[in-house]
Amino acid sequence: MLVLLHRDYDALSTAAARIVAAFVRRKASLVLGLATGSTTLGMYRELVRMHLDDALDFSKAMTFNLDEYIGLAPEHPRSFHYFMQRNFLSRVNIPQAHIHIPDGTIRNGYEEYCATYEAAIHAAGGIDLQILGIGRDGHIGFNEPASSLGSRTRPKTLSRTTLDDNRRDFSPGEEMPTAAITMGIGTILEARHIVLLASGAAKAKAVAKAIEGPITASVSASALQLHPDVTFLVDEEAAKELAQTDYYRRVMDMTAKLTPGKLW
């Protein structure tokens, strides 16, 4: 595990985009796992800029999104399809056939559909780089507290904390979905490389539990401690509850000296 501390959200976003760009330039046919949420917006803006200004080429890349609300059509302005198209996918040159986002309009046959999503990831050769955010209760994807650490893509009922946090994205009085389709923790852990972005004081406790706490189903992000190549990008506010920040800075300094490319 590599913990990279950044002064603020803008620095974190730039660092995340540089990591993605480095992977794309290293492997044009990169299979990229994508996340939504406000923390990812700065990264997507910078990737779009790199595509337009620096000729960053996504034409051979393939994407798989983590999750989608059940009950929202792709054109719904609160859907993750809409979020991804508006903020990233429609602004770079990823072929439409290479884009995979769970279908929130599925009414039945969830088991078969989710198995098909898993099979598509497998057929693509697996995810090379998975981008994650983290919830206030430490969840990744929509793997709420008490999710199995071996879970696969499946429907998931949303916790009260997630509903309260995500309600801000919906208009007053607008009905909010109470369930989603999400990649499982086991699915996420099969990615070859994982990068998690965390920004703001509201995420500080979750970040500390994920990085320094015990591995527990109560904090699904803590399962990342089991992964051989995971990088946490954390800004100063989100790092406030970490006990080992001095050590993480020393590791950053040593990594920069020995393998400068690792810090992008």
**Residues with a known catalytic role:** 67, 137, 139, 144
Give the integer Cα–Cα distance in Å for 69 and 67: 7
What single DSSP character describes residue 158? Answer: P
**Short-list 203, 212, 211, 194, CA closest to 236:** 203
Cα 39 from Cα 206, distance rounded (Å): 14
| Coil, helix or strand at residue 248 | helix
Which residue, among 19, 211, 49, has the nearest Cα to 128 in the 3D structure? 19
What the block records as the tokens of 187 is 């699915």
Which tokens belong to 61? 């890349």
Contacts of 89-93 with CB under 8 Å at 24 or more apart are 89/63, 91/48, 91/51, 92/47, 92/48, 92/51, 92/56, 92/58, 93/51, 93/57, 93/58, 93/59
Check: CB of residue 217 under 8 Å from CB of residue 242: no
Q: How far is CA 119 from the centre of its chain?
A: 20
